[in-house]
Amino acid sequence: MNDTTGAVGSPSAPMSNAFAQELKEKYGQVVLVLQGGGALGAYQVGVYQALHEAGVEPDWVIGTSIGAVNGAMIAGNPVEARLDRLNAFWRRVEHSPALAATSHLPPPFSTMLPNWTTITAGVSGFFRPNPLAFLGLNVPLPADAAGYYSTQPLSETLSGLVDFPEIKMGRTRLTVGAANVHNSTMRYFDSRDMELSVKHVMASGALPPAFPPVRIDGDSTGTAGFCPIRQSKRFLTTNRAETHWCSPCTYGTREAPSRSRCGRS
C-alpha cells in the first residue's frame, strides 16, 4: 500500500519504535477519529496515551464536539507536549476533591450535589451561567449569545492549551465537524484547506440551547457530537485516503468502554 501522507502536505509525525514504523509502512497514514460525548472525552485521552506510548502518532485527527477539543490539543502541540496539554485540560474541568468525595454518599445524594453545582455554577475552564438567558423569552439575545451558558471560559482554556500556528504548519492534519443549526447539514473544517482557529473548535462543541451556536462564515453552527461516528468514516471514504483509522467505541453505553473500532478506508 502506498504511503498517502504526501497528500497532507507535510512530513508525518515521528514514529519511535519498530511497531509504529511497521504500522506506518503497512497502512499508510494513521487517522484518529474522536466522536462527541462530553465526559467520554476523558476516555479518548487514554486511547491517545496508549497510542503515544506505543510510538504511534496520528497523521490526521478528525473530531466532533469533545472529540474536536481533544483533537485540537493533539494536532496543536508538538508530540512531546500533547499528553501534558490533554491532562491539563481535564484536570482543569474536573470537580474539586471535596465535591468528588460526595460520590461515596448513597444515591440520590451521590449525584445530586455535583449535578446541582454544575447546573448553577458551571464548570471551571469550560462554561459558566449566562444570566440573561434565564430572564425569559422577552430578553432579546443575539444568536451567538443565545445559550443558558457562556463558553467563553472554554475559548480561553483552548487558547492557552492549543497552538493554532502549529496546526497551520500541517505536521498533523486536523478536521473538526459541526452541523448547521438551521438545516442540520454537516460541515467539516479541515486544516489542509483553511486556517483553523478556536472558533472552529468551539463551533463543533456548541450545543444549543445550553451552549450558544458559533457563527462561521455567516452560518450558525453547533455540535455534530450526536451524529453517528459513520459520518466521519464517510468523510474518510469520500476523501479517498487509504488509511488505518481508529475510533474509541464509546457511543451509547453507560458502562466503561472496553474496546475501540478500527478499520481501513
Secondary structure of 189-240 as H, E, C letters: EECCCCCCCHHHHHHHHCCCCCCCCEEECCEEEEECCCCCCHHHHHHHHHCC
Q: Decide if 249 contacts 260 (C-beta within 8 A).
A: yes
For residue 92, the SS3 value is helix
Q: At what angle do helices 66-75 and 41-53 cross, to 10 degrees?
A: 30
| Residue 259 pLDDT exceeds 90 | no
Higher pLDDT: 201 or 240? It is 201
Give the mean pLDDT of 78-101. Answer: 90
Share of the chain above pLDDT 90, in %: 40
pTM: 0.79
Higher pLDDT: 96 or 73? It is 73
For residue 188, the SS3 value is strand
pLDDT score, position 217 = 83
| Residue 237 pLDDT exceeds 50 | yes
Q: How far apart are CA 192 and CA 172, in angstroms?
A: 10
| Residue 64 pLDDT exceeds 50 | yes
Chain centroid, CA 240 distance in Å: 23
Report pLDDT digits (tens) over 166-182.
999 999 999 998 888 88
Contacts of 164 (CB under 8 A, 6+ apart): 76, 195, 196, 197, 198
pLDDT score, position 208 = 85
